[in-house]
């Protein structure tokens, strides 16, 4: 099966110790179990992909009629969260009802993890864009303001893309090339080295990283 990813949930962070005694910061991910809900083909849908659903308990009355019919057609139980993964091989034999488990990955390989980052609300330039700020000494009247935003004589306007205060976070982000440190097949756990976007409990996409050119 050429599916290169799986759905999961970020559980939190921990650390593991390598053979040489160094502490490795890791993120604990619940990777699956997932089930194939739909197989999209280029002839019918215009592209090749599989729609996966993360196996979780959900009350049937919490699923609307459209999704209930969608899951019934696939022959799978109602699911809370679904997502798509592209497939390069159009002859892939993945079909509705197939299961994707955490043993789809191997220790030592690299993965890309996509999720929605934590929302920070409205923030100023120092926090949002890492502006240095002004002097903190007595008498200074410039501390955390953005400063000059454009010259007066030329170009007599503000350049497009100028960094301003505004909404920060709550964006779709991807952490690339995270090394798989440990795999727990019984608990469907995947430990990767490094940080993953979003708070604990957020749904994530885990994909196998593309090989370096």
Q: Could you tell me the CATH number of the domain that includes residue 64?
A: 3.30.160.810
Half-sphere exposure in the Cβ direction for 78 (13 Å, CA): 14
Task: Please tell me the total number of residues recorded for the chain in this structure.
Answer: 213
- In this structure, the answer to whether residues 38 and 96 fall within a common structural domain is yes
Q: Are 70 and 45 in contact (CB under 8 A)?
A: no
Structural domain for 70, as ranges: 34-100
The pLDDT tens digits of the residues spanning 43-95 come to: 888 888 888 888 888 888 888 888 888 888 888 888 888 888 888 765 667 77
What pTM did the predictor assign? 0.81
Supply the CATH number for residue 202's domain.
2.40.30.10
- In this structure, the answer to whether residues 96 and 188 fall within a common structural domain is no
The pLDDT tens digits of the residues spanning 23-36 come to: 989 999 998 788 88
**How many domains is the chain partitioned into structurally?**
2
């Amino acid at each position: 099966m050429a599916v290169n990813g799986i759905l999961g949930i970020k559980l939190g962070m921990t650390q593991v110790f390598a053979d040489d005694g160094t502490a490795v910061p890791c993120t604990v991910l619940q990777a699956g179990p997932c089930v194939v809900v739909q197989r999209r083909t280029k002839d019918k849908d215009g592209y090749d992909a599989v729609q996966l659903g993360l196996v979780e308990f959900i009350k049937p009355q919490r699923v609307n009629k459209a999704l209930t019919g969608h899951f019934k057609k696939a022959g799978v139980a109602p699911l809370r969260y679904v997502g798509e993964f592209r497939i390069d091989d159009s002859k892939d034999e993945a079909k509705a009802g197939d299961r994707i488990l955490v043993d789809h990955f191997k220790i030592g390989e690299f993965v890309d993890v996509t999720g929605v980052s934590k929302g920070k609300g409205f923030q100023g330039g120092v926090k949002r864009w890492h502006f240095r700020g002004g002097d903190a000494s007595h008498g200074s009247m410039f501390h955390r303001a953005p400063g000059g935003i454009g010259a007066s004589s030329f170009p007599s306007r503000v350049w497009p893309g100028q960094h301003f205060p505004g909404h920060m976070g709550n964006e779709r982000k991807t952490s690339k090339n995270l090394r798989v440190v440990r795999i727990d097949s019984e608990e469907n756990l995947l430990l990767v080295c490094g940080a993953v976007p979003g708070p604990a409990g957020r749904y994530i996409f885990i994909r196998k990283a593309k090989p370096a050119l």
